[in-house]
Amino acid sequence: MNRFLLPLSIFAVVVVFLGVGLTLNPREIPSPLVGKAAPEFSQPQLYDQEKIFSPANLKGKVWLLNFWASWCGGCKTEHPVLMELAKSGQVPIYGMDYKDEREEALAWLQRWGNPYPVVGVDQAGRVGINYGVYGVPETYVIDKQGMIRYKQIGPLDPDTVEKKILPLVKQLESQ
Amino acid sequence: MIWLALIMVCVSGPAWAGEAKPLGEDPAVEARLKHLAIELRCLVCQNQTLADSNAPLAEDLRREVREMIVKNMSDKEIIDFLVERYGDFVLYRPPVKATTALLWMGPFVLLIVGLAALIIAVRRRSQKLVDVPVTDEEHRRVEQLLAEGGKRS
């Protein structure tokens, strides 16, 4: 019996390590920006290119910043969730059109609906780099002081909105 | 003819000098970019360095790094800029920290465990070998047998 004890315990340790490894998603890179001030930017707006979209104007509000693009498949997946959330009026979602063609972005919103009060344009992907975006869609929850409180990598789903985003928004609103 | 060529070179020289070099063609900048980009990870295709990757984000990040090089920022400043945004993940060599201790120490721990196991196994085996004394009678018999074997062949 003793003979098998050591190999068996080594096996158990390896199984635990591999098991934990399986549940981790290598695509989900923890963002160092959570808990820090949301990087400033002033980008032209998608609809009215003369106007500027800047987070400075949103101080005192809790809001979401959603990086999306018309070429992005995941954005199509999360789009109904964003529409639903926008309709509920619980938190405004501001859009950032990431490395996209203006015409295609406009057509995309025309076709699927526009959940954003304002959409900024990040043609060169520089705002994306400042926010540590490495694949759209990504969504940030930003508090009244302009701090990033949460980062969602990949499409938002109804479950995440119900269980993470909305409770966090409520908590931040009450602060 | 040679003189004419020389004059032409001299006259046109300042004209090329005045033209701004595209960022991608300054060899010094490119050399530093290359040196930095092999230390940085492409975040989209995670097993490639920033130097190897053709992903659009990698291109953007190379552009960003190139611009910082042109601004004369130090390697540390450039790497800090990226770590601030993308975390330690962007580094191909993770820094030594509490969270990466297992990663850095693990191989050495395994080596020590392996060595310890080897020493224990060797000691146990040497304990199992029992010295069997050979009597004079047996000794003579062995010599006799060997001598006989030698003759037969």
pLDDT at B19 > cutoff 80 = no
Whole-complex ipTM: 0.73
Phi and psi torsions of A42, nearest 5°? -140, 105
Name the nearest CA neighbour of A145 among A32, A64, A36.
A36
CA-derived radius of gyration, chain A: 20
CA–CA dist A142, A137 (Å, integer): 16
Q: Residue A92: what pLDDT?
A: 94
Helix (H, G, I), strand (E, B) or coil at B129: coil
Read off the pLDDT of residues A84-95 as tens digits, 9 standing for 90 and up.
999 999 999 999
Query: Which chain A positions have a beta carbon within 8 Å of B87's beta carbon?
Result: 29-32, 132
Task: Output the pLDDT for position B152.
Answer: 59
Tell me how far CA of residue B120 lies from CA of A9, B25, B86, B126, B130, in angstroms. Answer: 18, 61, 46, 10, 18
Average confidence score pLDDT of chain B: 79
A129 and B56 within 8 Å at the Cβ level: the answer is: no
CB A131 within 8 A of CB A150: no
Contacts of A99 in chain B (CB under 8 A): 56, 60
Residue B11's pLDDT band, with cuts at 50, 70 and 90, is very low
Residues of B in contact with A29 (CB under 8 A): 43, 86-87, 89
What is the model's pLDDT at position B13?
45
| Cβ-defined contact of B87 to A29 (cutoff 8 Å) | yes
Percent of chain A exceeding pLDDT 70 equals 97
Beta strands A93-98 and A119-122 are: parallel
pLDDT number for residue B6? 52
Residue type, A16: V
Helices (H), chain A: 2-23, 73-88, 102-112, 126-130, 158-160, 166-173
Percent of chain A scored above 90 by pLDDT? 66
Element (H, E) at A67: strand A63-68
Low-confidence ranges of chain A (pLDDT < 70): 1, 26-29
How many angstroms separate the CA of residue B18 from the nearest CA in chain A? 28
User: With an 8 Å Cβ cutoff, are A132 and B61 in contact?
Assistant: no
Q: Looking at the partner chain, which of A29, A33, A124 has a beta carbon nearest the beta carbon of B43?
A: A29
| pLDDT(B5) > 60 | no
The bridge status of strand A63-68 relative to strand A93-98 is parallel
- Give the pLDDT confidence of B59-108 residue by residue, as tens digits: 888 888 888 988 888 888 888 888 888 888 888 887 888 778 888 898 99
> If you count residue pairs, one on A and one on B, with CB atoms under 8 Å apart, how many are there?
41
pLDDT per residue as tens digits for the range A137-147:
999 999 999 99
